[in-house]
Amino acid sequence: MGGAYSENSTFVQWFPPYSTAVRRNLPGLASSHLFIQQSGDWSPVSIPLTPLEDSWGWDGGITWAVGEDNQIYVYNGDAWSVVKTPIEASWVGVWGATEDAVYVAGEAGDVAVWTEGQWVSAGSVESKIKGIAGTETPVVVGETGGIWSLQGEEWLPLETNTEASMNGAWGAQSIGTVWVVGDNGSIFRVEGGDAIPEESGTEAHLYGVMGTDDAQTIYACGEAGTLLRRTGSGEWSSVPTTTLNTLLDVWVSSNGSVTAVGQMGTILLLAGEEDVILDQSLENSGAILKSVWGTGENAKWIAGKDALFFGPLMEVPEFLAPGVEGAVLGSKISWDPVGGAFPSFTFVEVGSPWWKPIWQMVLAGTVFSVNVPDLKGLSGEGPTGQNALLQVTRVIQNGFSMESFNYFDVFYEFMWDSWSTNTSTVNLF
């Protein structure tokens, strides 16, 4: 693929005339906000693009996920789709009483419900909401000790006698009881219209809570790797973990295994009677994992934001020919990749001193040289006697194919998993 001189260059990188530049990403970032478990590993899902705050679903496979900018997603067992509400909000929580009564809670206090195939308002509370759960009816939790229960069409506040923020909730439908966790080790049991405090034994801020269907075993998680367990006796005790990262959510499977997720891509699996911790954390990740959900015996989805994955390191190509300010007309451009990972494609460009392209070539796979045509014939008289710029960029891009190639692949670095580039001055004529 070659091209003539263009007056409308959209090339986004700039180097001053007659300079030599070497660049390499460190080593390149790909982002995702949703992950699926595949063969024991957690893999990023290409959609959604919006940072996610919470997820919830049914054993039948339908899963809901909510996030910023009024984004609500539903997974029908095969694919994700967007289901926006007419209420503009940043959604922080999702929970359903039935498949036709799914509630979402907005950070600013709004609540909406999905019923009969559409979203309608379910009222609001005058506080910043942190989460939602329930049994037959929803309970929302928020700042300054806020716990509200929906009674008819009205949200009624429950007395907690604390200013601590309530951060998360979970409801055991089989017994009609909701547990709420919050700052400073706060735990409340909501039943019969009352919020009953429970002694947690910790001062750590707590963010996530979930238990078995019969509520005989319940887990709560929080800052500095805190993991608590409540048994049928009603007492909470600490479970040692292998991390000091804050844990933001916890999911309990049908067989009692526990998955906890949190900051810095932390994913911990607690399995067996001996409390063995298996670390499944995302390697080299700065992800804030906010929610985990699954069906049956396995956690399936993890949702979050700011998930950064380091791609394979690409070594900077070193030019072999032409040398700096050497003639390029009718010759071969060659380079030595030195080492590192193999690229999906290599982009070669010769441009005028102000970086308007004269000739470009995209080469799939691992290549170390390319023949240059008559650049004078392509560009007209050109900058006779002046130096031009030569740039070679090596790129790893997941899913790249020359059959579906377009110039977005070249110009948008955010699509690349890893890359390196080198620029030199050359003589065209």
Domain ranges of the chain: 21-28+311-427, 30-310
Residue type, 403: E
pLDDT for residue 385 is more than 60: no
Mean pLDDT of the region 370-389 = 63
* Residue 297 near residue 255 (C-beta atoms within 8 A): yes
Pick one of 2.130.10.10, 3.40.50.450, 2.40.110.10, 3.40.50.10260 as the CATH number of 30-310. Answer: 2.130.10.10
Could you tell me which residue, 47 or 290, shows the higher pLDDT?
290
Could you tell me which residue, 418 or 263, shows the higher pLDDT?
263
Q: What's the mean pLDDT when you consider all of the chain?
A: 80
- Poorest-pLDDT segment among 91-105, 120-134, 321-335: 321-335
Banded model confidence at residue 308, pLDDT cuts 50, 70, 90: very low
Query: Strands, DSSP E only, in 199-254?
Result: 206-211, 218-222, 227-230, 236-238, 247-252
- Share above pLDDT 70 across residues of the chain, in percent, rounded to a whole number: 78
pLDDT for residue 359 is more than 90: no
Question: pLDDT for 118-128, tens place per residue?
Answer: 899 999 999 99
pLDDT for residue 56 is more than 70: yes
Q: What angle do CA 130, 203, 242 make, to 5 degrees?
A: 90
Instruction: Give residue 311's pLDDT.
Output: 43
Q: What is the CATH number of domain 21-28+311-427?
A: 2.60.40
pLDDT for residue 41 is more than 80: no
pLDDT for residue 189 is more than 90: yes
Instruction: Give residue 39's pLDDT.
Output: 63
Please provide residue 281's backbone torsions phi and psi, each rounded to the nearest 5 degrees. Answer: -60, 150
Highest mean pLDDT among 54-68, 74-88, 147-161: 147-161
Question: pLDDT for 191-226, tens place per residue?
Answer: 988 999 999 999 999 999 999 989 999 999 999 999
Alpha-carbon distance of 178 to 234, in angstroms, equals: 14
Mean pLDDT of the region 413-426 = 76
Give the CA distances from residue 123 to residues 119, 148, 156, 360, 366, in Å, rounded to whole numbers and listed in that order: 12, 12, 11, 58, 59
- Poorest-pLDDT segment among 14-23, 30-39, 206-215, 217-226: 14-23
pLDDT for residue 131 is more than 90: yes
Query: Strands, DSSP E only, in 223-297?
Result: 227-230, 236-238, 247-252, 258-262, 267-271, 276-279, 288-295
* Among the listed residues 216, 278, 214, the one whose alpha carbon sits nearest the alpha carbon of residue 241: 278
Alpha-carbon distance of 229 to 380, in angstroms, equals: 76
Mean pLDDT of the region 30-47 = 64
Could you tell me which residue, 416 or 403, shows the higher pLDDT?
403
Instruction: Give residue 42's pLDDT.
Output: 74
* Among the listed residues 310, 260, 330, 351, the one whose alpha carbon sits nearest the alpha carbon of residue 17: 351
| The token pair that represents 289 in the structure block | 């994992």
Question: pLDDT for 228-252, tens place per residue?
Answer: 999 999 999 999 999 999 999 999 9
pLDDT for residue 397 is more than 50: yes
What is the model's pTM?
A: 0.66
pLDDT for residue 29 is more than 60: no
* Residue 275 near residue 382 (C-beta atoms within 8 A): no
Between strands 41-44 and 52-57, the pairing is unpaired
| The token pair that represents 136 in the structure block | 């037959």
Strand order in the sheet with 52-57: 52-57, 63-67, 72-75, 80-82
